[in-house]
Amino acid sequence: MTARYDGASAVQQGTLRASVGCSGTGLHSGRQIAMSFHPAAPNTGIVFRRTDARGAIIPANWRHVVDTRLCSVIANADGVRVGTIEHAMAALAGTGIDNIRIDIDGPEVPAMDGSSAPFVAMIERAGIARQGVARRAIEVLKAVYAADGAAHAELAPADMFTVSCAIDFDTPAINRQARTVTLMNGAFKSELCRARTFGFEHEVEQLRKMGLARGGSLENAIVIGQDRILNADGLRYDDEFVRHKILDCVGDLYLAGGPILGHFSGHRSGHALNHQVLQNLFADATAWRFTTLRKPAVRAAKRPELRLATAVH
C-alpha cells in the first residue's frame, strides 16, 4: 500500500514501518553499492552505518560535513566518510522521516537515476510510522547570508519552509531558470523529487582526473553537450535544472538536524554555499531557536496550518 505523507506538515517524529533496500552505482566513485533503510527510535536522528568499515556510524548533521565539491560528504571523527548524500536526505526531508539508520557498504550513496524519486519510492514501500513524539524544528529568527563571488544564499524568517533558487548558465540548453517551492502539501513529491542531477560533457574528463563523476552516465544524470541535451528521453520538466537545485537545497538543509521554518533563497548556489549558510545560522545564537510543531484547532472553511509552539534553545 502506498504511504500517505506530507513531510513538511508532519508534527510527530517519523520513522519507517519496515526495512527496505536498494543497490546501484556511485555517481562519483563508480562503485557498486548496496544500501538499506531501517526504522530507528524517536530522537535517534538520521545516521549512516558503514557496514564495510566495522559498522562505523556517521551522523547526518551539518557539523560532520567535510567536502562539498559537487556533492555533500559527511565523516565521523575517525575519518570514515559517506558522500553524495543529498538526494537521499532530500527524500527523507520531503517525507518527514526524522529517525532512520542507513546501512551502506561503500563510501557513497548510489546514484540510482540521479534524482530523489527512487528513495521516495523506497520509503513508500516501507511505510511511514509516526512515533507520538513532537518534531523539533529550527526556526529562523533573522536573516543570515553566505556569498562566493556572484553566487549568494540567504536564510530568512518565514512561517513555512520555502526554497527559491535561480541559476544562469551560458548555454541555450539551460539559460536562466528560477523557481520557488513551498514544502507543504506533498510539494516535494509532486514538484521536485523526479528532477535529476546534471553535468556538462566537456567537463567529464577533468572531473574524472579529480576522482569525481567516475560513475556518471546518461542513466543517472542529464548530460549537456555543446548546445543540447544528450539524453534520448529529454527532460522530465521544462525547468528540471533549477528544480534539481532546489532538491539539493532541501537535502543539504536537512543536515540542520530537523525541519527548518524559514525561507532559503539562492542565486547560483551550490552545496558549498548551502552548507555555509547553515554554518552561519548556527554560529549566531540570536538567529535561530528550536521549536516544536503543532497543528491548531481546525476552523470552518480554513485549512489547518503549522504553528510554532513555545520553545527554548
Would you list the DSSP string of 93-120?
Answer: HHHT---EEEEESSSB-B-TTSSSHHHH
Could you tell me the end-to-end alpha-carbon distance of the chain, in angstroms, rounded to an integer? 39
- Element holding 207 (H helix, E strand): helix 204-209
Active-site annotation holds for 313: no
* Predicted confidence pLDDT, tens digits, the chain (313 residues): 333 445 666 899 999 999 999 999 998 888 999 999 999 999 999 999 999 999 999 999 999 999 998 899 999 999 999 999 999 999 999 999 999 999 999 999 999 999 999 999 999 999 999 999 999 999 999 999 999 999 999 999 999 999 999 999 999 999 999 999 999 989 999 999 999 999 898 887 777 777 766 788 899 999 999 889 999 999 999 999 999 999 999 999 999 999 999 999 999 999 999 999 999 999 999 999 999 987 654 444 444 344 333 333 3
Kindly list the structural domains of the chain, giving each domain's residue range(s) and its CATH number in brackets, ordered by start: 12-134 (3.30.230.20), 137-294 (3.30.1700.10)
Would you list the DSSP string of 38-95?
Answer: EE--TT--EEEEETTTTTEEEE-SGGGEEE-SSS-EEE-TT--EEB--HHHHHHHHHH
Positive or negative CA dihedral for 292, 16, 82, 146? negative
Marked catalytic residue, from 28, 87, 263, 271: 271
